[in-house]
Amino acid sequence: MKKPDNTDDFLARWISGELSEEEINTFKKSKDYILYETILEGTKLLDVPTVDREKIFDRIQNSISKEKKVIPMIPGWVYAVAASIVLVLGYTLFFNQTITYQSEFGEQLAITLPDGSEAILNAKSKLYYKKGSWKNTERTLFLDGEAFFKVKKGNIFTVKSNTNSVSVLGTQFNINTSSDFFEVTCYEGKVKVENSNSSKIISKGQAVRSINSSSFEKWGLNDVFPSWTTGESSFTDTPLQQVISALEKQYKITIKSKKISIDQRYSGGFTHNNLQNALHTIFDAMDIKFIFTDENTIELSEK
């Protein structure tokens, strides 16, 4: 395709969708079209803000050579376009890059965060944060599942999940969260716990729980760290549904519970290294019968 007389105007009109049908059809037949289209797709995939695209056009206009007598096979202005996009997208990539950690069934994953704080993920849990935000001292994480945190003192450290959040300065605490369940246990210092309906500040030896975004339940404990970090999950007056979910995550099994009430509460624990012992410990105490329908599926029923 012949280089347009006003290259900058042509490129801007193409990207903004203002070319005529005839111009587009002619452009698509040119040997340079694929290169231009690849550059444009790069900006779309990275969701570059509109204001940044305007800056790209400014750089394109400043980079185009208007006095070249020999036109190379790939015009020099194309490289200027590519270079401008790389500069802007490189900046965007760094500040919007999401760092993600995810544990598998029965796995615990230890993580060191950019500020030196530590986190341990329980089985089938996910933790992520924006890399750029930590450069601006905004310590914000997002959690789906369960994790134990040891936070170094500094700016406010926030863990978010759905409509829930936990904010601290320096402390040790555990969070267990899912779409309809949120539980926080404080082992050192103080933490502020919030959801869409209420807010609580708890200190060492205290825990709170919210089910379906309800007001927080609060209780005390004597533990100095979460038992699941040493191979045994423990529960205090916890809905059976959450206990079943913990079993499934630790042992990679499916538990069918339609024949029982999953709202009844359980206090106790189970081991992570013996499935039969774990099942008997929980369900015998609650007068619930369990049978294996296949190697990895268990069905519950009332005795």
Give pLDDT, residue 22.
Answer: 77
Q: Which helix (H) or strand (E) holds 282?
A: helix 275-283
> In b/e form, how buried is each residue of 43-60, taking b as 16+ CB within 10 angstroms?
beeeebeeeeeeebbebb
Amino acid present at 241: Q
Same domain for 82 and 69, yes or no, is yes
| Beta carbons within 10 angstroms of residue 215's beta carbon | 12
d(CA 122, CA 136): 29
Beta bridge partners of residue 201, listed in sequence order: 192
The answer to the question of residue 43 being in a domain is: yes
CATH code of the domain covering residue 102: 2.60.120.1440
Same domain for 121 and 45, yes or no, is no
Same domain for 23 and 78, yes or no, is yes
3-class SS at 84? helix
Same domain for 200 and 109, yes or no, is yes
The answer to the question of residue 1 being in a domain is: no
Of the residues 201, 229, 257, which one is the last residue of a structural domain? 229
Distances from the Cα of 132 to the Cα of 2, 15, 129, 139, 167, angstroms: 42, 28, 9, 10, 19
Same domain for 81 and 121, yes or no, is no
The answer to the question of residue 2 being in a domain is: no
The answer to the question of residue 294 being in a domain is: yes
Same domain for 199 and 177, yes or no, is yes
CATH code of the domain covering residue 261: 3.55.50.30
The answer to the question of residue 41 being in a domain is: yes
The answer to the question of residue 291 being in a domain is: yes
| Beta carbons within 10 angstroms of residue 169's beta carbon | 16
Same domain for 50 and 105, yes or no, is no
pLDDT in tens, the chain (303 residues): 444 545 556 666 666 677 777 777 777 766 566 656 655 555 444 444 444 545 544 554 554 444 444 444 445 555 555 555 555 555 454 456 889 999 999 999 999 999 999 999 999 999 999 888 776 678 999 999 999 999 999 889 999 998 899 999 889 999 999 989 999 999 999 999 998 888 999 999 999 999 988 889 999 999 999 999 999 999 999 999 999 999 999 999 999 999 999 999 999 999 999 999 999 999 999 999 999 999 999 999 998
Of 12, 21, 19, whose CA–CA distance to 50 is shortest?
12
- pTM metric for this prediction: 0.69
Give pLDDT, residue 89.
Answer: 52
The answer to the question of residue 242 being in a domain is: yes
Same domain for 241 and 225, yes or no, is no
Domain, as residue range, for 280:
231-303
Number of domains in the chain: 3
| Distant-in-sequence contacts of 209-213, Cβ < 8 A, 24+ apart | 209/181, 209/182, 209/183, 209/184, 209/238, 210/164, 210/181, 210/182, 210/183, 211/180, 211/181, 211/182, 211/239, 212/180, 213/163, 213/180, 213/182
Same domain for 146 and 48, yes or no, is no
Same domain for 41 and 121, yes or no, is no
The answer to the question of residue 203 being in a domain is: yes
Same domain for 84 and 116, yes or no, is no
Of the residues 229, 262, 285, which one is the last residue of a structural domain? 229
Same domain for 179 and 71, yes or no, is no
Of the residues 229, 249, 268, which one is the last residue of a structural domain? 229
